[in-house]
Amino acid sequence: MADNTATVAGVEVSTDHWIDGRRVPSTDRFEDLSPVDGSHLANVAAGGKAEVDLAVNAARRAFPAWAALGPEGRLPVLKAFAEGLRTRAKDLAAVETMDNGSLLAGNVHRVAPRAAQNIEFFADWALTLQGHVIESPEVLNHVRYDPAGVAALITPWNAPLMLTTWKVGPALAAGNTVVVKPPEWAPLTCSLMADIAHAAGLPAGVLNVVQGIGETAGDALVKHADVDRISFTGSTDTAKLIGQAAARSITPMSAELGGKSPFIVCADADLDAAAQTVAGQYMNAGQVCLAGTRIFVEKSIESEFLAKVREAAAHMVVGDPRDPATRVGPLITQEHFDRVAGFVDRAKAAGAEPLWGGSRANFGALYFQPTLFANVDPHSEIAQKEVFGPVLTWQTFETDDEVVQAANGTGYGLAGVLFTRNEARAMRIASQVVAGTLWVNCFFIRDLAAPFGGSRDSGIGREGGSWSFDFYADIKNISVRKGSFNQVGG
Ligand code: NAD
C-alpha cells in the first residue's frame, strides 16, 4: 500500500496532511507504531515550515467567509460534523485504540460520542453570544464576541480525538479557522476527523491538519506570524517553549498541562466507592493528565482502606485494550515505558516500598504493572513529578490542615479527588486545595459548560462553556453614547 494511506483496524486512514480542502503529501515521513502489539501502523507525512505556511495561509484565506456566516450560519455544518463523528464512532474508537493503546470500550462509549458532543455543544453555545448589552448612565456597552482569526491547536497522544475536538469545537463555533498539529505518537484519528469535517461540508481551509514532529511542525506553527491564538495541551516543559514563541508575537495562549493530583480519603468516606475510584486511576495505564496519583488516607482507616484498594486493584486486569475485560493497556512507546520504569527504579532506590507492582507486566513489551508505593518521602521525585504511568503513591494524614498542605505540596494544580460524607468538611478542604477541578465523591465527570484547566504548572487559563469563547473570541465593547443617533438603520 502507498504510504499516503494506511488500513488500521480495518479502517482506511489518510496519512497525509489536510490543507485547504485536499490531501497534501510530504516526502519526509515518520513511522507510527501501535503500542498494543508493536505493529507498524503507518508512515505519516512529516510537515515542516512549508506545510505550516500552506495551512496557515489557507486558514487565513478561508477566515473572512467563515467568520461572516455568524453562529447561525455555521450551526448546520458544525451539526453535520458532529453527526459525522457520531456515525463513525466505531471507526474512530478502533483507530484510536490501535494508535494510542487506550481502552476500546471507553473509546466507543465515551470518547467518540464526546468528540461529537464537543463540536455540537460549542456550536449551540455560540448562538447565545450575541446581543449582550451593559447599560451605564451615559452609554450602552454592546459586548461582541468577534472571531479572532487563525487558531493553532496542538494536542497530545493520550487522548487526541477528545482533546482536539475540545479545541476545534469552540474555535470553529467562534468563527475562527484552525490549523491542527496532531501528536506524532498517535496522529490517525485527527486525520479521520478532517475527512469527516470535509464530508459534513466544512469549507476548504476552515480546518487544516499538519502532521509532524513537535519540534519541527509544532514549532513552525507556534512561531508563525499569522496565527492569532495558540491552544496547547501537553507537557509543562513543551508549554514553556511554546510560551516563549507566544510571548514574542504577543499571541494569546491557553495551556492545559500535566498534573500530580491529590486523592484524599477521609475516615468518614464511603470506603468501597473510594477504593474503586483509587483503582480506577490505573485506567489507560495511568496516562491520564487528571489522574489522582497521590493517595492521602486518614490514618485511622489506613489498614482497612488499604485492604479494599488492594482488592479493587487486583481487578485492574492488564492486557490488550481491545479486550473488554482489560482495564490497563500499554504505555505509548518504548521511550515512554523506559521513562516510567526509570521513575519506578529511582523511587525504589530512594527507599520507597512498592506494595504491589513495580515492574513490567507479564503481557507484552509496553505493559507495566499497576503499582503502589508506600514509605514515600513527600519531597522525593516519585511524590513530586508526573509519571504518566500506572504508578500511585500512598501517604497518611491526621488533620485536615495537614492534608491540605500536603496536597498543595507540588508545583502542579490540575485536579484533585476527595472522598468524605461530611459536606462542610468537603467544601472546606476542596476550597483550599489548589486545582482547576476538584471532584468530591466522584471522578472524571465533566460538564462541558464548566471551566476546565489547571493552576500553577498545570496550565494557563480555563476552557469550557463561556471560558472557551473568552479565549477563542476577540471580545469587543462598542460603547455608544445614549441618545446620540438621529437615524436608525442604513
Ligand atoms: P508533549 O508536550 O510532549 O507534546 C504535546 C504536543 O506538543 C504534541 O503534539 C507535540 O508534537 C507538540 N510539541 C512538542 N514539542 C513542541 C514544540 N517545541 N513546539 C510546538 N509543539 C510541540 O506532551 P505529550 O507527551 O504528548 O503529552 C503528555 C502530557 O500532556 C502530560 O504531561 C499530560 O499530563 C499532558 N496532558 C494534559 C491534559 C490537560 O488537559 N491538562 C490532557 C492530556 C494530557
Is residue 388 in contact with ligand 1, taking CB distance under 6 Å?
A: yes
C-alpha cell at 229: 491564538
| 164 C-alpha to ligand 1 centroid (Å) | 12
Q: Atom 40 of ligand 1 has which residue's CA nearest to it?
A: 256
| 446 C-alpha to ligand 1 centroid (Å) | 21
Element counts in the chain: helices (H) and strands (E): 16, 24
Is residue 241 in contact with ligand 1, taking CB distance under 6 Å?
A: yes
Dist. CA 248–CA 245, nearest whole Å:
5
| 183 C-alpha to ligand 1 centroid (Å) | 8
What was the pLDDT predicted at 181?
A: 98
Dist. CA 240–CA 71, nearest whole Å:
34
Q: How would you write the pLDDT of the chain (490 residues) with one tens digit per residue?
A: 468 999 999 999 999 999 999 999 999 999 999 999 999 999 999 999 999 999 999 999 999 999 999 999 999 999 999 999 999 999 999 999 999 999 999 999 999 999 999 999 999 999 998 768 999 999 999 999 999 999 999 999 999 999 999 999 999 999 999 999 999 999 999 999 999 999 999 999 999 999 999 999 999 999 999 999 999 999 999 999 999 999 999 999 999 999 999 999 999 999 999 999 999 999 999 999 999 999 999 999 999 999 999 999 999 999 999 999 999 999 999 999 999 999 999 999 999 999 999 999 999 999 999 999 999 999 999 999 999 999 999 999 999 999 999 999 999 999 999 999 999 999 999 999 999 999 999 999 999 999 999 999 999 999 999 999 999 999 999 999 999 999 888 7
Structural contact between residues 193 and 221, judged by C-beta atoms closer than 8 angstroms: no
Listed in sequence order, the residues at least 6 apart from 305 whose beta carbon sits closer than 8 Å to its beta carbon are: 265, 271, 274, 275, 297
Nearest 10 degrees: Cα torsion 276, 278, 281, 283: -20
Atom number of ligand 1 nearest to Cα 182: 9
Is residue 256 in contact with ligand 1, taking CB distance under 6 Å?
A: yes
Q: What are the DSSP calls for 300-369, one per residue?
A: GGHHHHHHHHHHHHHT--BS-TTSTT-SB---S-HHHHHHHHHHHHHHHHTT-EEEE--SB-SSSTT-B-
Q: Is 442 a catalytic residue?
A: no
| 157 C-alpha to ligand 1 centroid (Å) | 7
Residues of the chain with CATH 3.40.605.10: 5-257+454-461+469-477
User: Nearest CA to 177 among 192, 167, 163, 186?
Assistant: 167
- What is the CATH architecture assignment of 5-257+454-461+469-477? 3-Layer(aba) Sandwich (3.40)
Between CA 317 and CA 322, with CA 320 as vertex, the angle to 5 degrees is: 110
Q: Atom 8 of ligand 1 has which residue's CA nearest to it?
A: 183
Is residue 331 in contact with ligand 1, taking CB distance under 6 Å?
A: no
Is residue 227 in contact with ligand 1, taking CB distance under 6 Å?
A: no
Identify the sign of the CA torsion 463, 468, 474, 475. negative
CATH of domain 262-440: 3.40.309.10
The helix/strand/coil state of 231 is: strand
Is residue 177 in contact with ligand 1, taking CB distance under 6 Å?
A: no
Report the residue count for the chain: 490
CA distances from 15 to 20, 160, 189, 211, 284 (A): 16, 15, 10, 8, 25
| 396 C-alpha to ligand 1 centroid (Å) | 32
Is residue 47 in contact with ligand 1, taking CB distance under 6 Å?
A: no
Is residue 183 in contact with ligand 1, taking CB distance under 6 Å?
A: yes
Q: Atom 30 of ligand 1 has which residue's CA nearest to it?
A: 234
User: Nearest CA to 407 among 263, 256, 236?
Assistant: 263
What was the pLDDT predicted at 433?
A: 98
Atom number of ligand 1 nearest to Cα 259: 34
Atom number of ligand 1 nearest to Cα 245: 19
Is residue 157 in contact with ligand 1, taking CB distance under 6 Å?
A: yes
Instruction: Find the catalytic residue in 51, 289, 386, 463.
Output: 289
What was the pLDDT predicted at 2?
A: 67
Residues of the chain with CATH 3.40.309.10: 262-440
| 239 C-alpha to ligand 1 centroid (Å) | 8
How many CA atoms lie less than 13 Å away from 194 in the CB half-sphere?
29
Q: Is 256 a catalytic residue?
A: yes
Instruction: Find the catalytic residue in 256, 298, 386, 463.
Output: 256
Return the CA Rg of the chain.
23
User: Nearest CA to 57 among 24, 28, 19?
Assistant: 19
Is residue 259 in contact with ligand 1, taking CB distance under 6 Å?
A: yes
Place of cell 447599560: 135
